[in-house]
């Protein structure tokens, strides 16, 4: 998958690319490219933002700057999906992640300041996604959330045991496989690990985990 991220802070992604699961699929199943709006701005002095028409607080990421960056990367309008990250977008769920991970090429647009000039959303992006009903200062964290969640769904991202489990449960669980985890000690301060996990009976353990997953995702 080719995953392109347009951002004002490409260096913010450095740590993400060094960690699993992204590091495990980089250069193989995942071709992650970072584009800085400032590298392509047609404006002088690396300008990318401007005051809003009609006045008001904050600066707005200019539509001509975003268009120039897309033009430089694709030589025209991209034929593939271009997702803008906005607090008002479609809420991110595991179902949305699965959908995005199925794309061969995907572009993520992030903004800062007061966000995008509305024409970016109307004419340059195909759709918009929010990572939750709250407002962050920029689209870098939302983009990283998406890159991480998508990378986990690519072949080879997870260890074989974990990935097998996720595959077998993901169709049934909108939130992905999610059950309680325990490790040693088996009893700490009188807080015991559920006995089934110590039983060595993998059929029973699987059944218990499925039940726990359903309980968690039910609400
Ligand atoms: C300070 S926010 C913009 C707030 C702006 N008033 C609005 O409501 O769109 C700056 C940028 O951060 C990103 N952002 C902030 N919160 C987000 C969220 N929950 N999901 C996705 N992107 C978000 C978007 O790229 C947004 O344009």
Q: How confident is the model at residue 219 (pLDDT cuts 50, 70, 90)?
A: low
Per DSSP bridges, beta strands 191-192 and 187-188 are antiparallel
The tokens 């109307």 sit on which residue?
122
Q: How far apart are CA 11 and CA 131, in angstroms?
A: 21
- What is the model's pLDDT at position 192? 96
Per DSSP bridges, beta strands 60-61 and 49-50 are antiparallel
- What is the model's pLDDT at position 162? 57
Per DSSP bridges, beta strands 105-109 and 81-91 are parallel
Q: Considering the domain 2-152 in this protein, what is its CATH number?
A: 3.40.1280.10
Contacts of 103 (CB under 8 A, 6+ apart): 1, 80, 81
User: Could you read off the pLDDT of 28-47 as tens digits, one per residue?
Assistant: 999 999 999 999 999 999 99
Contact between 3 and 108 (Cβ < 8 Å): yes
Regarding the beta carbon of 139 and ligand 1, being less than 6 Å apart is answered yes
Superfamily covering domain 160-218: tRNA(m1g37)methyltransferase, domain 2 (1.10.1270.20)
Contacts of 107 (CB under 8 A, 6+ apart): 3, 4, 5, 6, 70, 73, 78, 80, 81, 82, 83
The tokens 């088996």 sit on which residue?
186
Domain boundaries, the chain: 2-152, 160-218
Q: Which two tokens stand for residue 66?
A: 């975003």
Closest-lying ligand 1 atom to the alpha carbon of residue 137: 1
Closest-lying ligand 1 atom to the alpha carbon of residue 135: 16
Q: How far is the CA of 28 from the centre of ligand 1 (A)?
A: 31
pTM: 0.87
Confidence check: pLDDT of 168 > 60: no
User: Could you read off the pLDDT of 119-132 as tens digits, one per residue?
Assistant: 999 999 999 999 99
Residue nearest to atom 9 of ligand 1 (CA): 115
Per DSSP bridges, beta strands 49-50 and 81-91 are unpaired
Identify any residues that bridge with 5 across adjacent strands, giving them in sequence order. Answer: 34, 108
The preferred substitution site among 9, 112, 137, 139 for testing ligand 1, maximizing ligand atoms within 8 Å of CB, is: 139
Q: How confident is the model at residue 175 (pLDDT cuts 50, 70, 90)?
A: very low
Over residues 48-76, the mean pLDDT reads 96
Confidence check: pLDDT of 91 > 50: yes
Identify any residues that bridge with 109 across adjacent strands, giving them in sequence order. Answer: 6, 84
Q: How far apart are CA 89 and CA 46, in angstroms?
A: 28
Q: Which CA distances in Å does 183 have to 188, 192, 194, 201, 212?
A: 10, 11, 11, 17, 17
């Amino acid at each position: 998958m080719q995953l392109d991220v347009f951002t004002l802070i490409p260096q913010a992604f450095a740590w993400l690319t060094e960690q699993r699961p992204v590091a495990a699929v980089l250069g193989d199943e995942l071709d992650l490219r970072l584009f800085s709006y400032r590298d392509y701005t047609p404006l002088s002095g690396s300008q990318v933002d401007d005051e809003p028409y009609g006045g008001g607080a904050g600066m707005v990421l200019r539509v001509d700057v975003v268009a120039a960056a897309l033009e430089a990367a694709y030589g025209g309008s991209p034929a593939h999906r271009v997702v803008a990250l906005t607090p008002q977008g479609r809420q991110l769920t595991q179902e949305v992640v699965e959908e995005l991970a199925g794309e061969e090429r995907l572009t993520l647009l992030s903004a800062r300041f007061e966000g995008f000039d509305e024409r970016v959303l109307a004419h340059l992006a195909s759709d918009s996604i929010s990572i939750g009903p709250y407002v962050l200062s920029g689209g870098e964290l939302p983009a990283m959330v998406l890159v991480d969640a998508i990378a986990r769904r690519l072949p080879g991202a997870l260890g074989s045991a974990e990935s097998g489990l996720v595959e077998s449960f993901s169709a049934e669980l909108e939130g992905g496989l999610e059950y309680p985890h325990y490790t040693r000690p088996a009893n700490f301060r009188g807080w015991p690990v559920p006995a089934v996990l110590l039983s060595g009976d993998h059929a029973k353990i699987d059944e218990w985990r499925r039940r726990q997953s359903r309980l968690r995702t039910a609400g």
